[in-house]
Structure 1
Amino acid sequence: MGDQISPQPPANRTHFHIAIICALPREADAVTLLFDHFWDDERDLYGRADGDMNTYITGRIGDHNVVLAILPSMGTNDAAAATASLRSSYNNLKLAVLVGICGGLPRIANLDAFLGDVVVSKAIIQYDYGRQYPGHFAVRNRVEDSLGRASKDIRSLLAVFQTEVMRTRLRRDASKHLKHLQEKAKIERRRADYRYPGTAQDTLYPPAYAHKHRTSCDWCTASDFCDLASKMSCADVGCGLADRLIREHSVEEANFSPEIFIGRVGSGNTIIKSGQDRDRIANAHNIIAFETEGAGAWDEVPCIVVKGICDYADNHKNEVWEDFAAATAAAVMKAILGRYIVHDRDSGFSQN
């Protein structure tokens, strides 16, 4: 059997049809573990358009040449500016995937959602864009105010992913990619810990249960918010184990496969850290998760948000899941790209 021929780098930027966008370096670190080849190991081959301030990582994932952009900071404004620059340099993009971590609803479509599961957007709602009336905030979500529908190509892709047979295939593929990511991280001695943290670390409290000091604290006595407590873990402030909501995990910890939920994702510059506000906004707009970049990127490129649930969008601090949730999102992203069909004209294939 002969040596496998390595793929050749594309001739120029017009041959890149897939972009991956991450808001945080830790999110990009997980994604790069699933690159099959890098085109910029030695140097940047492709440059950028005049006025583009982004720095890119280029390579190949499966059958696709991809360009990875890391945002300068979180938020819809930075996402919009960076994505517009991305589009100016890579003007033949067919799909952008926003990959990273998010706050998720603990129950989605009558199913329990757990930390490490992944949400995929079929629409974006900018939940903090609207009008503030006395005692009432009205989100502007009429047709003429909305961020628009996804492209037909993306809507068709997501419709297929919502079938049971394809959902099973995506979960199977994502599980395989997650294991590969974890093994490669060990080989490369990455500092992030991509191991499954365990069900004991997946704690959920009632929406009204405040994360505050349970011992003497003037701020916590006067209100349900304390800046010092907000930076501490539940164990440190004394959130009671007996107060947790008990849910049955049907996961094999040694063989974790993320559940994949497809629905409307809330996007805005306001990070939701309140269980009560989470439920109020989600119920009003049928939202399954909250993140901070999708609304900025949505109008610039045809995009899908793929994010791992690292917390329940409440005020109970838990950083243990961030690296693992970034890894599960990256794994689902690669599974999606594995099912994304390139058009003949884009792949270079032609029929006689």
Structure 2
Amino acid sequence: MTTGALTEAIRGLPPGAVDLARHAAVPVALDARFLNLLRVNFFVDIPVPLPYETEAALLLSPVVREIGEGLYEVDPALRNTLLSELVSEFGGDRLGRVAALLEQYTDRSAAWHALPELENAQRLTALSLLDPERAHEWLQREKEASAEVGTALGHSWFVAMENRLLQQQTALLPAPPPTAIPWITVAIVTEPGPPNDLLDDVIDEVFDYRFLRSLKCQVGVIPSEIDPDHGHGVVLAAVNEGASADRVVDELIREFPELRTIIVAGTFPADSDPEAYEIVVARRVVAGSEGMSQVPGIDYGLLSAASGPAIPAAVVWPAHETGAVPTVRTATFVGPNQFAEPGVVVDRFSPAITAAADAQGLSWFVVQGTPNDGPARACVAAYLRALVSTAGSFGDRLPSPDPEWAASTTGALSTADPVSPRSALDATVGIITALPVEAHAVRSVLDDARPTMIAGDPTRYVLGSVPGPEPGHEHTVVLATLPPDGTRSAATLATTMARSFPGLRLVIICGIAAGIRRSAGEEEIRLGDIVVATDGIVDFGHTRTADGPEPRPLGRTPPSTLLLAADRRLQASEAAGAMPWLETVHRLAAIPSFMRPDSDADDPTVHRAAIGSTDMLLRSSRIRAELARQYEVVALEMEGAGIAAGAVRTGRSWFMVRGISDFGDDSKSDSWQGYAALTAAAYTRSLLAEYPAQGPERAPNVR
């Protein structure tokens, strides 16, 4: 029987039952007591003991069939395959131990005494595995005696046993090592447990099966939307119970030497509503018992696919009786011994596998579904199929554990191309972000974005374009993300960017900010709203976070005159009911990274005022209220003053657009960061559509 037929036969068996079946394939027949002895002798004193229910599950499965009088036999079509796997998985010594147990059971029990042909068949089988030469001599001697004087063993018995021993000998011959499959680049790994039927619908056709010590593998192809003539080679790997993460990854690499990416997939129980179906993509994974080790190396190609506009259209959600279409969100995944906040997924499997993948230099991705049922697994399969098919490449590892590093400039994008002198001169607009989530949002609104490097500059840039006001003209835009070092680094990056891209006319600060709650009667600022620094940046320098000394403004830097004029044109169009930035927001807000956290259907409002810049977060409500009253500041951020100073120092203008992600108080959380970053990026794109390619863009003076 082929390994494919074996796969069908063992479908639905609980964890460990296949290993028990491999041992049960040794005797000619077995009863329930001998099966129990196999489990007790070989599967109790192990890290994950097999429960006694596994015995009943095996006896009721298609692998075993009842032959009467309380006896069972392993399907003869499966026996040789199972015997071969017993040796390959557990070694020849284990085979000898099972044979010795069979011999002892036959000698000491009356299980087969009433059936002399079966009793002798059991003895001969055990002897053939313990001492093949003695078994052959015994068989020939008994065969001759039966022919001369007659015995209880008829001619047909000897013929059957000779054939059985020959087949057994063939099955136990050392198998040549399986040929490594070089074209597999992606592994989808599922955790131990009942066979995960999410594997069924991910690939089009299974080309090969591999039964490894830690894994059961199906090899096939997922079509590519980008290159329809060539699909992606994928292995679907179900992990055996008790297998370590390191061993799983080691076996995958040995078996599939071109493997680049491991996707961890599965389902988990619902936290609240068991009928609310969700697909959860890991935005970061935290491994280690202390919860301090974030796993780097998330896959750039899969991240780009998951964050791009193609995924929602590509997913064909399965139809099932609930009629539910899952929502897609991101979350942090942590191990079971770590502190978990609301919204965090506690998962023992994903952190271990991703950490092991990272240690071997592989990239990783995590997609889980909830609740833990068949429809959720089918939804995960549909999402995985769309995700892999729309990904352009695999194996490019991002340096941060946070997939918001899709547009990161800090480091290890192996696909980054050195930019030519002409490309560097083409860039006229620079955009600087402070956080990965902000960079991800900006990159998502750029056209033809790609990683870029400049010789002699360690910064990793992203080069893209946006439409300008003149037909056929585009602004070439360069994006960079700050290292987490504070305002001094902000000024340095602005200066470095101007030196590497000498054609820059303008530097835009784009990202999130903390809003300041308004008094009664004033225009309300809401989460997700857009704030444009039309009245400049009020630089408060170093301030305290408690009710200490009042912050002292160090100066107010005015923004770009050309973008101020562009903003006035957008304000006029807004009054007429035309808000082009909302089209971008609505299109990209379907992406998990940018989804609006609440169900409010109201669109973001644009506020125009001054924005305060300080090196530290202000959590004092009294100080924030005083800033709003005295300096007409409507939001606070931390990097703008440094970036603006660096731009001015190099003769460039600056501008700032922020999305409100919190109010800087005790209610502060990260849940609005993605949506707020998107609203700011979308408005920035619309601003540049009004920004002229030519004009007197001069560096402003500080007053």
Task: Give the TM-score category using the shorter length.
Answer: 0.5 to 0.7
Per the alignment, in what secondary structure is the counterpart of residue 166 of structure 1? helix
Question: What secondary structure sits across from 2:541 in the alignment?
Answer: coil
**Separation in structure 2 between the aligned mates of residue 154 and residue 94 of structure 1, nearest angstrom:** 11
* Alignment counterpart, residue 139 of structure 1, candidates 546, 552, 559: 552
Report the CA distance between 1:140 and its aligned residue.
Answer: 4.1
Aligned to 2:492: 81
- The higher-RCO structure (CA 8 Å, 6+ apart) is 1
1:288 matched to which residue of 2? 634
Q: CA deviation at 1:335?
A: 1.4
**Offset at residue 15 of structure 1 (A):** 1.4
Q: Is the 8 A contact 2:540 2:551 kept in 1?
A: no
Tell me if 1:326 matches 2:692.
no
In structure 1, how many angstroms separate the alpha carbons of the residues matched to 2:442 and 2:577?
17
Q: Is 1:112 aligned to residue 538 of structure 2?
A: no
Is 1:172 paired with 2:579? Answer: yes
Q: What is the aligned partner in structure 2 of residue 17 from structure 1?
A: 428
Q: Does 2:688 align with 1:337?
A: yes
Match of 2:594 in 1: 194
Do 2:513 and 2:658's aligned partners in 1 also have CA atoms closer than 8 Å? Answer: yes
**Secondary structure of the structure 1 residue equivalent to 2:458:** coil
Aligned equivalents of 1:103, 1:35: Cα separation in 2: 25
Contact persistence 1:170–1:335 (CA under 8 A): no
Change (3 A) 1:338 1:279: same
**Distance change >3 Å, CA 343–CA 271, structure 1 → 2:** same
Which secondary structure does the structure 2 equivalent of 1:342 belong to? coil
| Cα drift, residue 72 of structure 1 | 0.6
1:260 match: 606
Letter in 2 for 1:128: G
Instruction: Tell me, in whole angstroms, the C-alpha distance in 2 between the residues paired with 1:305 and 1:21.
Output: 10
Alignment of 1:1-352 (within 5 A): 11-40=422-451, 44=452, 47-48=454-455, 50=456, 52-62=457-467, 63-73=474-484, 75-107=486-518, 110-122=522-534, 123-128=536-541, 136-137=549-550, 139-141=552-554, 146-161=555-570, 163=571, 165-168=572-575, 172-183=579-590, 185=591, 192-198=592-598, 253=601, 256-301=602-647, 302-343=653-694
* Matched residue SS, 2:533: strand
Q: Which runs of 5+ in 1 are unaligned?
A: 1-8, 186-191, 200-251, 347-352
Retained in 1: the 8 A contact 2:560–2:655? no
Distance in 2 between residues matched to 1:12 and 1:38, nearest whole Å: 13
The match for 1:223 is none
Aligned amino acid, residue 434 of structure 2: A
Cα contact 1:171–1:257 (8 A) shared by 2: no
Q: Please say if residues 550 and 623 of structure 2, whose CA atoms lie closer than 8 Å, have aligned partners that are also in contact.
A: no
CA distance in 1, matches of 2:465, 2:691: 14
- The answer to whether the Cα contact below 8 Å between 1:23 and 1:70 also exists between their aligned partners in 2 is yes
Q: Deviations over 1:108-129 (max 9, x none)?
A: 8921111000111120011235
Distance 1:14 1:196, change over 3 A: same
- The residue identity in structure 2 corresponding to 1:124 is I
Q: Distance in 1 between matches of 2:431 and 2:497?
A: 10
Give the CA deviation at 1:289: 0.4
**Secondary structure of 1:279's partner?**
helix
C-alpha distance in structure 1 between counterparts of 2:559 and 2:569, whole Å: 14
Of the structure 1 ranges 73-82 and 288-297, higher mean CA displacement relative to structure 2 is found in 73-82
User: d(CA) in 2 for partners of 1:25 and 1:166?
Assistant: 31
8 Å CA contact 1:102–1:290 kept in 2: the answer is yes
AA aligned to 2:694 is: H
Give the Cα–Cα distance (whole angstroms) in 1 for the partners of residues 576 and 501 of structure 2.
Answer: 31
Q: How many residues align?
A: 262
Distance change (3 Å), C-alpha of 1:117 and 1:74:
farther
More helix by share: 2
Calculate the TM-score normalised by the size of structure 2: 0.35
Does the aligned pair in 1 maintain the 2:567–2:687 contact within 8 Å?
A: no
Larger Rg, first or second structure (1 or 2): 2
Residue equivalent to 1:208? none
- Secondary structure at 1:55 match in 2: strand
- Report if the CA contact (8 A) 1:147-1:298 is conserved: no
Deviations 1:184-241 (A, max 9, x none): x3xxxxxx43222226xxxxxxxxxxxxxxxxxxxxxxxxxxxxxxxxxxxxxxxxxx
Q: Structure 1 pair 138/97, CA: closer, same or farther in 2 (3 Å)?
A: closer
CA shift at 1:18, angstroms? Answer: 0.8
Deviation of 1:155 after TM superposition, in Å, equals 3.7
User: Offset at 1:151?
Assistant: 3.8
Aligned counterparts of 1:170 and 1:38: Cα–Cα separation in 2 = 30
Q: Tell me the percent identity.
A: 26
